[in-house]
Structure 1
Amino acid sequence: MIKKAIAVVVGFIIIQFIVKILHSLELFKYVYNHTPGPCRIVPGQGIGYEDMETLPNGLTLITSGIVMPTASPKVHAYHKKHNRRGRIYLFDFNQPDKGIEELTIVGDQFNQSDFGPHGISLWKDNKDKVTVMVVNHDSTGDTLEKFVFMAKDKQLKHVHTYRDPSIHFVNDVAMDSENSFYFTNYAYYKSGFLHLLETIIPLAYGNLMYYDGKAYHKQYDGFITTNGLMLSRDQKYLYMAEPVTKKFYTFTRQKNGTVKRYQEFNVKTAIDNPTLDKDGNVLLGAHPIVWQILAHLDDPENPAPSQVIKLHMKDGVVTKMTEVLSDDGHMLSGSTVASLYKDAMLVGTVQHKLLYCEVRWMD
């Protein structure tokens, strides 16, 4: 009798777990296509345009050629077929018809042949010097690479490589000065199968870190796939996306760089990288159907829907949410980031194309 009762309970728990997984994969969800205006694909030779950030003058730096530690054999084959190479591209919103241009990386201590750029952050000082921080997945592990952007020469001068045990499986970075920054460790396991289990169960092994220029400090842990980061324009708040739970976090910042949780907002879609518009509102690239983005990450030939979400912000709090763009994956697969400048928007993807849209209507 006791054995039967235990079997029933165990069976119920297993069924409940399976139902939960099936629900989280969004198997029966459908997306409808709409854009904020006419859109077109930007020509280019890159594989994916995973993250980007736009300077006040409209110049946008874009990472391309990401190689995740969890990449499947199909992804590696796709990269080989298309001659993947890690690049940082430049796009000028003031001259959109020029498309993208690869920035030359200079510096004897940097190995560009082993470059897998992911998240990116820009810091502009009061003398207009632009420092660039890039998350790098290379063959030796994860690093954070610092460059100086030389716009006239269209070059990135490599300055420093950050290595530390706390830089484990990094997704994104957000600079709060030339020499200090926040970063997210996305997960713990780098094996494809173990990483999948960590995501599906899920296991809360992600964390948020801060480097103050001298030492690394853990701010929070216990997250499930900590992802994109962005500081508010006044630097009072730090924003973070968590795609598996579909949550958007706001943290308040202290003078020493430490952060405290302020708001936790359910966006109800798998959000990726945040950027800011001119008014300080947040734009997010997102994945509206989970099972399709998982299939796309396993095999880039499988299309996945794209989505751009706008979060209206006031004093670090989300006051309203609108959908800016939605596509079923045939025009654009696996959107990860969107950047808005004046009346135009650029949308990047994890391993597909780059989309430029004229913005004629947006709430």
Structure 2
Amino acid sequence: MKKKILIGSGVLVVAVVGFVLNTLMAAGTFRKINPHYHGKCDAVTGVVGVEDITIDPDSGFAYLSSHDRRTWAKTGEAEGDIFLYRPGSLATPLAMPHDYEGSFHPHGISLWLDATGPDRLMVVNHPNSADAGGMPLSQVEIFEVGPARLTHIRTVKTDGPYSLNDVVATGPETFYASIDKGSETKLGRSLESYLRLSRGGIAYGDEHGMRRVEGGLVYPNGIQWDGVHLYVAETTGRRLLKFKPSETPMELTLVAEDNLNTALDNLEWDADGNLWIGAHPQTLKFVEHAKDAANRSPSQVLKATLADGGFDLQEVYLNDGDPISGSSVAAPYAGRMLIGSVFDPFILDCKL
């Protein structure tokens, strides 16, 4: 009996050690960081926590999603803003006035360019709420874009208590959004992240509301649309996924996937139809950076070219946590690249 117990205990220890090692490897803990970039980058201050960036290819202006998450975590009070910035100008970004009356904590954003009417900006918002049950509320705000001003059109709420991360517009009233975590409790969300549980998914929104339409994803984060296919980046799952709607927008079929061996964040298009990805090559260092700004987290930018059955990958930028820590987005435009991060009080404006 004792022998069986010892054997069973040994098997359990081996299994636990194996799982821990696998988790550390997946998190990039043993990865060697060799910083490189062939261009010049300048820090642009006046904004904090620019988690997402999207650029209007017609006007050349970039929209920056800004929120001071460290202050928000400490005090529960820190409103965010959408800023306007022209790549290459190195000027202080300008906060866009808006008429939204609730608490505004912007996360992922997406711009819809309308040939027949005003453009729209869609913003994932996590408003304060005493009824959230420990989970930050998630909803999508739709704004009409005017001359240096945003006019709030409507709020689209989720059909369940899940956490939204990013959004991509598919029309002036329609969008897909990534559901990074499906658990309702703080413990459950932590287990999702560390155990890489497949409880994330995709939601679809229109004038009738928002519904969960796809599940079984591992911390889906960035999301993009090319008019035919939907692209989703997983953070702890490390995959870049390609979906095609079937009979309706709410029926998605997975048509391609690649494991990119890094924690993927937001996705942005370039003029040639390539996806640029802000990424976290060492995710546990990013966790420590979230706790303390002094703990720096490596930043990475990838360029994914669409290929048959998957994606060809190029690493454009890599640092060891300086000058920018915890990169979440890279937006290219006209020979420039803007890099934003979840916490740092600036963006990088880089010459490609």
**Matched-pair contact (CA < 8 Å) for 1:167–1:185:** no
Q: Once the two structures are superposed, what CA deviation does each residue of 1:217-267 show, in whole Å capped at 9, x if it has no partner?
A: 4332111111110112xx111110001121000111346313210111111
Q: How many residue pairs end up in the alignment?
A: 340
For residues 346 and 256 of structure 1, the distance between their equivalents in structure 2, rounded to whole angstroms, comes to 35
3-state DSSP class of the match of 1:29? coil
Q: Aligned pair 1:87/2:76, yes or no?
A: no
Offset, 1:190? 5.9
Offset, 1:291? 1.4
Decide whether aligned partners of structure 1 residues 125 and 75 sit closer, same or farther in structure 2, where only a CA change above 3 A counts.
Answer: closer
Q: Give the structure 2 partner of residue 143 of structure 1.
A: 139
User: Where does the alignment leave 5 or more consecutive residues of structure 2 unmatched?
Assistant: 130-136
Offset, 1:290? 1.5
Q: Give the structure 2 partner of residue 52 of structure 1.
A: 53
For residues 25 and 84 of structure 1, the distance between their equivalents in structure 2, rounded to whole angstroms, comes to 30
Q: Give the structure 2 partner of residue 321 of structure 1.
A: 313
Q: Once the two structures are superposed, what CA deviation does each residue of 1:135-182 show, in whole Å capped at 9, x if it has no partner?
A: 0111122111111111x2x11111111123336210011111111111
Specify which of 6, 9, 14 is matched with residue 12 of structure 1.
14
Q: Aligned pair 1:288/2:261, yes or no?
A: no
For residues 10 and 307 of structure 2, the distance between their equivalents in structure 1, rounded to whole angstroms, comes to 50
For residues 48 and 188 of structure 2, the distance between their equivalents in structure 1, rounded to whole angstroms, comes to 25
Offset, 1:61? 0.8
Q: Give the structure 2 partner of residue 170 of structure 1.
A: 164
For residues 75 and 190 of structure 1, the distance between their equivalents in structure 2, rounded to whole angstroms, comes to 20
3-state DSSP class of the match of 1:96? coil
Q: Aligned pair 1:297/2:290, yes or no?
A: yes
Q: Aligned pair 1:206/2:207, yes or no?
A: no
For residues 108 and 330 of structure 2, the distance between their equivalents in structure 1, rounded to whole angstroms, comes to 13
**Matched-pair contact (CA < 8 Å) for 2:245–2:252:** yes
Q: Give the structure 2 partner of residue 121 of structure 1.
A: 110
3-state DSSP class of the match of 1:329? coil
Decide whether aligned partners of structure 1 residues 219 and 36 sit closer, same or farther in structure 2, where only a CA change above 3 A counts.
Answer: farther
3-state DSSP class of the match of 1:104? coil
Offset, 1:319? 4.0
Q: Which amino acid aligns with 1:149?
A: V
Identity of aligned residues (%): 28
**Matched-pair contact (CA < 8 Å) for 1:48–1:349:** yes
Decide whether aligned partners of structure 1 residues 91 and 128 sit closer, same or farther in structure 2, where only a CA change above 3 A counts.
Answer: farther
Q: Give the structure 2 partner of residue 229 of structure 1.
A: 223
Let me know the Cα RMSD of the aligned residues.
2.2
**Matched-pair contact (CA < 8 Å) for 1:75–1:299:** no
Q: Once the two structures are superposed, what CA deviation does each residue of 1:184-211 show, in whole Å capped at 9, x if it has no partner?
A: 1111346554422221112211011112
Specify which of 236, 255, 267 is matched with residue 260 of structure 2.
267
For residues 338 and 259 of structure 1, the distance between their equivalents in structure 2, rounded to whole angstroms, comes to 27
3-state DSSP class of the match of 2:181? coil
TM (normalized to structure 2)?
0.90
Decide whether aligned partners of structure 1 residues 191 and 40 sit closer, same or farther in structure 2, where only a CA change above 3 A counts.
Answer: farther
User: Where does the alignment leave 5 or more consecutive residues of structure 1 unmatched?
Assistant: none
For residues 323 and 256 of structure 1, the distance between their equivalents in structure 2, rounded to whole angstroms, comes to 36
**Matched-pair contact (CA < 8 Å) for 2:126–2:139:** yes
Larger mean Cα displacement after TM superposition, 262-271 or 97-106: 97-106
3-state DSSP class of the match of 2:98? strand
For residues 195 and 211 of structure 1, the distance between their equivalents in structure 2, rounded to whole angstroms, comes to 23
3-state DSSP class of the match of 1:354? strand
Mapping of residues 94-133 of structure 1, within 5 Å: 96-107=89-100, 110-111=101-102, 114-127=103-116, 129-133=118-122
For residues 152 and 209 of structure 2, the distance between their equivalents in structure 1, rounded to whole angstroms, comes to 21
Decide whether aligned partners of structure 1 residues 190 and 90 sit closer, same or farther in structure 2, where only a CA change above 3 A counts.
Answer: farther
Decide whether aligned partners of structure 1 residues 30 and 84 sit closer, same or farther in structure 2, where only a CA change above 3 A counts.
Answer: farther
Decide whether aligned partners of structure 1 residues 75 and 287 sit closer, same or farther in structure 2, where only a CA change above 3 A counts.
Answer: farther
Q: Once the two structures are superposed, what CA deviation does each residue of 1:284-342 show, in whole Å capped at 9, x if it has no partner?
A: 00011121111112223321111100001147x54421011111112010100111111
**Matched-pair contact (CA < 8 Å) for 1:75–1:297:** no
Q: Which amino acid aligns with 1:11?
A: V
For residues 8 and 328 of structure 1, the distance between their equivalents in structure 2, rounded to whole angstroms, comes to 38
**Matched-pair contact (CA < 8 Å) for 1:42–1:356:** yes
For residues 312 and 290 of structure 1, the distance between their equivalents in structure 2, rounded to whole angstroms, comes to 24
**Matched-pair contact (CA < 8 Å) for 1:311–1:318:** no
**Matched-pair contact (CA < 8 Å) for 2:157–2:209:** no
3-state DSSP class of the match of 1:286? strand
